[in-house]
Amino acid sequence: MKSAARIISIFLLAFLMTGCDKPQPVKIGFLIHAFDKERWENDRDYFVQRAEELGATVLVMDAGNDADAQLKQAQQLLSEGVKVLVVVPVDQFAAARIVEEAHKSEARVISYDRLILNCKLDYYISTDNVEIGELQADYLTRIKPQGNYALLGGARNDHNSQFLYLGQMNVLSPLVEKGDVKLVFNTFTEQWSEEEGYALTREMLQKSGNKVDAIIAGNDAIAAGAIRALDEKQMAGKVLVAGMDADLKNLQELVKGTQTCTIFKPIQKMASAAAEIAVRLAKGEACERTFQTTSNGEMLVPSVLENGVVVTRDNLKLTVVSEGYQKEEDIFK
């Protein structure tokens, strides 16, 4: 009896010790195109924080805007057994190869902020960029319903640029048809950069004879370049300028009156949603939420699309400051 009791005790002890072992955290890959704009560090930090709260380890890799390098990074993580990749693609066409490689390894891919095209993508997390384009154009045309408008779009290889343009034209096209608005310049950039915004605005001013009333820029970096070019002509503050991303520098321009508005993308909500879905997928659990769908040219991709918010000098404190995205003392210094 004593021998039997001892065997049972040893078994129970072993069971309890096994039951007390903490489960190993699941690993998730976060592949970002580059930390080339202020906002991307925030996306990374919010994503990592939420994923770790849910018991995951995040492996972050920066491709330096090199599509081939991003593919190699994906292959490296897949070879290490990562079962979920969250990807901000360098090139939305080339990144389809990442999805193919992931599926060969029975891994899933979440396209973050930028839609990966022409593949069997698993999930897409972003903002409603058509709506953001509409917000930009609607805000400026309510101030200036008639006049010369210039469109400085985002990067040509980023499908978000097309979504933004569609939204802008949803508002502008009826006004153009009525003759109230004239598009004096309409182009896209290569890299969403301030230098391109500056160079294109100088070109636009030359071609239009400095006759422009409003500029809608694809993001705040492009808007900052436009403001710099306007300032050289003593036109800063006289021309309406819309941007996107709520970068600190541009919020300071709002305070100065040289930028009219920007669009705040709820990055924390986006990153948290991506982290929550990624962790569930990595754990083999079902995603318990209602999805929208977005066509990527191959299929209707289950999507989470957050809404943007117009930020102006008058509502800075109620938007980006109250959300904790930027500090009041930094904006108003």
pLDDT in tens, 22-48: 567 899 999 999 998 778 998 999 999
Q: What's phi and psi for 113, nearest 5 deg? A: 70, -45
Q: What is the pLDDT of residues 107-137, one digit of tens each?
A: 999 999 999 999 999 999 999 999 999 999 9
Domain 129-265+310-331: state its class.
alpha beta
pLDDT, position 19: 45
Cα 213 to Cα 160, 178, 294: the distances in Å are 25, 17, 34
Please report, as a single letter, which amino acid is at residue 235: M
Residue 21, pLDDT score: 53
**Inter-residue contact 62 to 34 (CB < 8 Å):** yes
Identical fold at 26-121+267-305 and 129-265+310-331? Answer: yes
List the one residue out of 260, 149, 259 whose CA is nearest residue 214. 149
DSSP line for 157-217: T-HHHHHHHHHHHHHHHHHHHHTSEEEEEEEEESS--HHHHHHHHHHHHHHHTT--SEEEE
pLDDT one-digit tens code per residue, 235-281 = 999 999 999 999 999 999 999 999 999 999 999 999 999 999 999 99
What pLDDT sits at residue 116?
95
Instruction: Name residue 188's beta-bridge partners.
Output: 153
For 41-61, the pLDDT digits (tens) are 989 999 999 999 999 999 999
Instruction: Write down the pTM of the prediction.
Output: 0.84
Token pair, residue 214, equals 């409003």
Task: Report the chain's mean pLDDT, rounded to a whole number.
Answer: 92
- Domain layout of the chain by residue ranges: 26-121+267-305, 129-265+310-331
Which distant-in-sequence residues (6+ apart) come within 8 Å of 97 by Cβ?
Answer: 71
CB atoms within 10 A of CB 209: 8
Q: Which residues pair with 224 in a beta bridge?
A: none
What is the rounded CA–CA span in Å between residue 292 and residue 128?
11
Q: Is the pLDDT of residue 20 over 70?
A: no
* 179-215 pLDDT, tens digit each: 999 999 999 999 899 999 999 999 999 999 999 999 9
- The CATH architecture of the domain made up of 26-121+267-305 is 3-Layer(aba) Sandwich (3.40)
